[in-house]
Amino acid sequence: MVVPGSIPKIILSFAIFSFQCSIDSHQLHLVSNIHTQNSTFAPMITIPHKAKQFLVFTVKLLIVVGAFYFIYNQLASNDKLEWDLFLDLFYKNQSFTGISFILFFSFLNRFFEILKWQNLAQVVKPISINDATKQVLAALTLGVFTPVGVGEYAGKALYFDKKDTKKIIFLNLICNGVQIVATGIFGILGMMILGYWLWSFGIIAFIIAFFLFSYFTKKIKINGYSIEDLIEKINEIPKKIHRKNLILGFCRYLVFSHQYYFLFLAFDVDLTYSTLMATITMVYFLASVIPSFQFLDFALKGSLAVYFFGLLGVNEWIVVFVTMLMWFFNVVLPVIFGSYYVMIFKVLPLKSKVINH
């Protein structure tokens, strides 16, 4: 199951953002004290160029190898993939037009994400489509094998000045946050269509309670930051950027959810549009609120899809293969391109300072 942006990821990333903000002020205070106590510094120690190149190459290679090992592990360890049944159906229904149609949805899915990031990154500095593509795909490669994809945030931050790190993390929160909004709205609607009224009203009640709690505690500070500070930072971003982010986020959601729908049709699943789409949106929503490591993500959230589609009479092997293909088209293929951008990524010269005592 591919969930672009999830609630656990948002929470963890916000914690990282808050921690980054809190240590920045501490570091400034520490540097100030050191400077006061030590008026002179030792000469700069420069890391040998060849040693630095080897170190950087090793790190980049480990990232790429780690990403592909994760992909291999997901495919090799899944004993529910009935390849014989899949190949029989593929040869029966194979169509160049059909495959191109599905791949076009994968392109649109990632392209909308690239446009979202280009739109938000201009808060720090304007970037081209080419730069946004590099950053999104390289970050995806770094995030694919890290807990709840947190490496994605670090990946994008590497392309910007260190002083902008917390801004980039925050903008990535906004980028993923709009997908949560779309996932939640369509997911609750899907539950209602399928008749899960108790679940729907329970979730809506929880959301209302959460916002009420946030409103009455918005001035309470944790690590020097409060919900009120977060709202102020969100409001600092121009409204036209928020509007464009919202539109692109909803377009992206409609693209990957309908790609899921058309893959089920390709497997000869005979369900009405409303029933199939409602189940897809509900599964996406439930998958987005389950925290997991990326190594467990495919199996855990794939099992969720197997359960709910199984209630509709869809064969388990079909659900597993559709889920696997969604993951392959929207994660594996972009990671292949992202690996290239990771390998060509250039790091600024590294220098360190030693303080005389």
- Judge whether residue 261 has pLDDT over 90: yes
Long-range contacts for 10-14 (Cβ within 8 Å, ≥24 apart)? 10/173, 10/176, 10/177, 10/180, 12/147, 12/148, 12/150, 13/150, 13/153, 13/169, 13/172, 13/173, 13/176, 14/173, 14/230
User: Taking each helix axis from N to C terminus, what angle separates 316-327 and 83-93, rounded to the nearest 10 degrees?
Assistant: 80
Evaluate if residue 281 carries a pLDDT over 90: yes
Q: pLDDT tens for residues 54-111?
A: 565 576 667 666 665 666 666 566 666 666 666 676 666 667 788 899 999 999 999 9
Q: Which pLDDT tens digit goes with each residue over 114-163?
A: 999 999 999 999 999 999 999 999 999 888 767 667 778 888 988 999 89
Over the stretch 203-230, which tens digit does the pLDDT of each residue have? 999 999 988 988 888 887 777 777 888 8
Say how far residue 354 (Cα) sits from the centre of its chain. 38
State the pLDDT at residue 300. Answer: 61
Q: The tokens of 101 are what?
A: 């149609």
- Looking at the domain assignment, is residue 38 inside a domain? no
Q: Is residue 198 part of a domain?
A: yes
pLDDT digits (tens, 9 = 90+) for 304-350: 888 999 999 998 888 888 888 888 899 889 988 988 888 887 764 54
Say what the pLDDT of residue 22 is.
45
Phi, psi of 44 (to 5 degrees): -65, 140
Could you tell me if 183 and 284 are in contact, meaning their C-beta atoms sit under 8 angstroms apart?
A: yes
Which has the closest alpha carbon to 269: 227, 306, 304, 315?
315
Report whether 13 contacts 166 (CB < 8 A): no
Q: Is residue 36 part of a domain?
A: no
Grade residue 252 by pLDDT with cuts at 50, 70 and 90: very high
In a domain, 251, yes or no: yes
- DSSP one-letter string for 83-148: HHHHHHHHHHH--HHHHHHHHHHHHHHHHHHHHHHHHHHTTT----HHHHHHHHHHHHHHHTTSGG
Number of structural domains (the chain) is: 1
At residue 41 the predicted structure's pLDDT band, cuts being 50, 70 and 90, is very low
Q: Specify if 309 maps to a domain.
A: yes
Among residues 78, 96, 94, the alpha carbon closest in space to that of 317 is found at 78
Q: Check residue 26 and give its pLDDT.
A: 43
pLDDT at 275: 96
Alpha-carbon dihedral angle through residues 147, 148, 151, 153, given to the nearest 10 degrees = -150
Query: pLDDT tens digits, residue range 5-19?
Result: 566 555 555 555 544
- Name the residue with higher pLDDT: 68 or 245: 245
Do the beta carbons of residue 156 and residue 117 sit within 8 Å? yes
126 lies in which domain range? 7-31+46-86+96-345
Asked whether residue 353 is assigned to any structural domain, the reply reads no
Query: Per-residue pLDDT for 245 more than 90?
Result: yes
Residue 183 lies in a domain: yes
* In the predicted structure, residue 357 carries a pLDDT above the cut 50: no
Question: Which pLDDT score, from 0 to 100, does residue 343 have?
Answer: 85
Report pLDDT for 81: 62
Q: Positive or negative, the Cα torsion across 160, 166, 169, 174?
A: negative
In a domain, 91, yes or no: no
Mean pLDDT of the residues in the chain = 79
Classified as helix, coil or strand, 313 is coil
